[in-house]
Amino acid sequence: MKKQLYAVLISVSAIFSILTATPDIVTDPDRILASALPGSSDTESFSLINAGTSDLSYNAAISYTSKKEGKGGGGPDSYGYEWRDSDAPDGPVYNWIEINTFGTVVTMTDELLSPSIPLGFTFNFYGTDFTSVKVCSNGFLSFTTTTNTALNETIPSASEPNNLLALMWDDLNPAAAGSGFVYYYSDTVNKRFIVEYSGIPHYGSTSLNYAQVILYESGRIVYQYKNVGDVTITSSTVGIKNSTGLVGLQVVKNYSYLKNNLAIQFSAVPKWLSLSSYSGVVPASSNTQINAVCSAAGLDYGTYTADVKISSNDPDQPLKILPVTFIVSDVTSWPDIELNPVSLSESVMPGNSVQDTFGLTNSGDSDLVYSLTTSYEVIPENITVSSNDFNSGLGNWVNSGGISWVWTTNTNNLDGSSYLQALAHTSGGGTKSSIITSAPFDGTSCSQIYLNFYQYAVFTQSSGTVEYTSDGTNWITVYTNNTNIGGWGTPNFQKILLPVISPTMQVRFTGVFTKLSGDMWNIDNVSVSGPEVITLSWLSIDSPVSGTVVPSGVKDILFTCDSSGLAEGVYYAGIKVESNDPDEAIVIIPVEFIVTTGTSLGTPANVLTSVAGSVITISWDTVAGAASYDVYSSDSPYGTFAFLANVSTEQYSFSYTEPRKFYYIIARN
């Protein structure tokens, strides 16, 4: 049995082009990997291809995806600023820079905003360049505000001060007795500007604050807290906001967060990716080249990701996403994995095997180190390993305790048949137990085990417990109840996971009843079931499962599909390739394995298509020995093909309903 695939795809695509002229967007490559030294850039290009039969109109946009919020940090805001503190793994390092011996004193009184102070460089804040900043006695800086308010507010908010750097915004008093001073220093050598609040108390407090704002020419902002006063710890706002006040990041407001020897960094990842073209028209059967420029200016070492989102008039793919990975590092050479083919399909008769290869290529410029594993795509069936519907009594279940469970078949019922019932006693001690225990069962044929049962309980003064054991000795409680639940004809259903699986398992139900309470517990249709353990081994890797591919090198990987023990059908698995490729560390190669009782036949040849109205007919030459032909279809030539029909003649007709479809034909005997 062999597939005839590509001739069908070409012919059918041609017929659809006649029926409806449509564009077809393709990008080559389908992802971008760039790398650069800090401060430099890398330009990579991709082709935007129109494989269709009418003009392709497109618009491209960039979406940055690498910013994440984590412990000791937050953001990004809508502009792109995010914050990290020195407790976060990727946060700044606290490093106090003392300037009170050489910095310039900012003349301060209570409720004072200083004149603008030159920074010594251009500093970009929320997209606007500034060359000076104002310092307020109340623990904040601003590039533009005229307010000196001591009333700290939530960030963001439209009220002034805006263009705000809130170091510890609240009512501070540098004019108080014993107060220190506020200093600034333009460090041109290290391209930074520092403002230090050195020994400034909160209003009405003698506890002093020592804190700094450091502005770097690169755009990075660092707050440092050498000592935080007792009042300031729980009464201040820390954060930043833009010129309107509507975009910003709040680290904290009036909450115990600040502490001694803490650093907080604010940074906006620059828009490091740009394209040479963001919109245009690509004629049918043509292409255009687009350059993607990745700039490391202002970026720290690390990996940055973005998506180029290309919207177009392609009817079946209106949005095409091109992932971009940009590595800023002193290392600028990387491996780049490519697989050929990207999916595998094999077919044999039962009891036979087939051996084949796929190519693992390194199109990068450093060694590719890889490892291979296999996994199987199966949907396990649910199997039952123990059950009792009590239609014939207790069966092999065993009663114990002071009250016996009774097999009951009266007109009251749970599911229209018999069930087990335990009733509160009317004589004897104040409380008694009613215990019913299952026979041992083996749960190891399931990957997970669940206990299922129906119940109706009246518990006004009584309770019920369900337990299981995996060793015959130690019982583990998995369910308890002491309230009314369920009803006649409307029982309550329970499905409970039994965590430990073993070959010797049991379950038991224990009711604890109070004398003369009138309470009862009814159970029915008890079963233990779960997904079957499936062990498959039809796919094996014959080549070494790990190795290295040199730059521009290719390694052929040998694998075997063995149908021994498999019934006729289609089986699926995957070959997982893990490598040091920075943007494709894991790639899965899907493997389809067809086991058929038919003998090996020729490939359907001379595949043709014809159109009559809205009906397309695919035809092919007779294959010697073929009794029939299976027809499969897919929305993509590399997608999953679904079975459509088995035909006894050398043609298949269907109504045209979609702009594009792909087919292949299998000959059977």
Q: Report pLDDT digits (tens) over 454-482.
A: 999 999 999 999 999 999 999 999 999 99
The three-state (H, E, C) secondary structure of 162-206, written as one string: CCEEEEEECCECCCCCCCCEEEEEEECCCCEEEEEEEEEEECCCC
pLDDT for 64 beyond 50:
yes
| Model confidence band, residue 436 (pLDDT cutoffs 50, 70, 90) | very high
pLDDT on residue 645: 84
pLDDT for 68 beyond 50:
no
pLDDT on residue 599: 56
d(CA 123, CA 131): 6
Hey, is 18 helix, strand or coil?
A: helix
Name the residue with higher pLDDT: 76 or 321. 321
Lowest mean pLDDT among 35-49, 65-79, 610-624: 65-79
pLDDT on residue 526: 95
Tokens, residue 568: 């006729």
Tokens, residue 340: 């050929």
| Model confidence band, residue 12 (pLDDT cutoffs 50, 70, 90) | very low
pLDDT on residue 11: 37
For residue 281, the one-letter residue type is V
Strand order in the sheet with 25-28: 25-28, 41-50, 286-295, 273-275
Is 49 in contact with 297 (CB distance < 8 Å)? no
pLDDT on residue 13: 42
d(CA 269, CA 272): 8
d(CA 560, CA 577): 16
pLDDT on residue 657: 66
Residue by residue, DSSP assigns 357-371 as: EEEEEE-SSS-EEEE
Is 318 in contact with 349 (CB distance < 8 Å)? no
Tokens, residue 312: 């177009």
Q: How far is CA 275 from CA 61, 62, 306, 307, 310, in A?
A: 9, 9, 12, 12, 12
d(CA 211, CA 197): 5
Name the residue with higher pLDDT: 615 or 186. 186
Q: Averaged over 475-504, what is the pLDDT? A: 93
b/e code 347-373 from CB counts within 10 Å (16+ = b): bbbeeeeeeeebebbbbbeeebebebe
Is 58 in contact with 311 (CB distance < 8 Å)? yes
Q: Tokens 């369920």 appear where?
A: 486
Structural domains of the chain, ranges and CATH numbers in brackets: 73-268 (no CATH), 337-378+536-595 (2.60.40.10), 384-530 (2.60.120.200)
Tokens, residue 87: 């407790």
pLDDT on residue 20: 57
Q: How far is CA 145 from CA 50, 173, 220, 221, in A?
A: 53, 19, 21, 19
The CA-based dihedral angle spanning residues 324, 329, 335, 337, taken in that order and rounded to the nearest 10 degrees? -20
User: What is the tens place of the pLDDT at every residue in 262-281?
Assistant: 999 998 867 789 999 999 99
d(CA 450, CA 528): 6
Q: Is the peptide bond before 156 cis (omega within 30 degrees of 0)?
A: yes
pLDDT on residue 279: 95
Tokens, residue 273: 């990716």
User: What is the tens place of the pLDDT at every residue in 106-156?
Assistant: 999 999 999 999 999 999 999 899 999 999 999 999 999 999 999 999 999
Q: Averaged over 582-594, what is the pLDDT? A: 89
The CA-based dihedral angle spanning residues 446, 449, 455, 461, taken in that order and rounded to the nearest 10 degrees? 160
Long-range contacts of 7-12 (CB under 8 A, 24+ apart): 7/605, 7/607, 8/607, 8/618, 8/662, 8/663, 8/664, 8/665, 9/637, 9/662, 9/663, 9/664, 11/607, 11/608, 11/609, 11/618, 12/609, 12/616, 12/618, 12/661, 12/662, 12/663
d(CA 151, CA 169): 8
- Beta bridge partners, 387, equal 527
Q: Averaged over 325-340, what is the pLDDT? A: 88
User: What is the tens place of the pLDDT at every residue in 370-406?
Assistant: 999 998 877 678 899 999 988 888 999 999 988 999 9
**Among 638, 635, 631, which residue's Cα sits nearest to residue 604?**
631
Instruction: Count the residues in the chain.
Output: 669
Mean pLDDT of the chain: 88
Q: Averaged over 307-315, what is the pLDDT? A: 94
How many C-beta neighbours within 10 Å does residue 439 have? Answer: 12
Alpha carbon 482 to chain centroid distance?
Answer: 41
Query: ∠ CA 95-99-102 to the nearest 5 degrees?
Result: 150
What is the maximal distance between C-alpha atoms in the chain?
106
d(CA 122, CA 130): 6
d(CA 244, CA 144): 11
Hey, is 17 helix, strand or coil?
A: helix
Hey, is 302 helix, strand or coil?
A: strand
Query: ∠ CA 20-24-30 to the nearest 5 degrees?
Result: 165
What sections of 56-194 are H helices per DSSP? Answer: none
d(CA 659, CA 20): 7
d(CA 479, CA 477): 6
Is 450 in contact with 496 (CB distance < 8 Å)? yes
Q: Averaged over 178-203, what is the pLDDT? A: 95
Is 35 in contact with 42 (CB distance < 8 Å)? yes
| Model confidence band, residue 658 (pLDDT cutoffs 50, 70, 90) | low
- Beta bridge partners, 34, equal 326
Q: Averaged over 478-507, what is the pLDDT? A: 93
pLDDT for 650 beyond 70:
yes
Hey, is 10 helix, strand or coil?
A: helix
User: What is the tens place of the pLDDT at every residue in 527-578?
Assistant: 999 998 888 899 999 999 999 999 999 999 999 999 998 888 888 899 999 9
Alpha carbon 202 to chain centroid distance?
Answer: 46
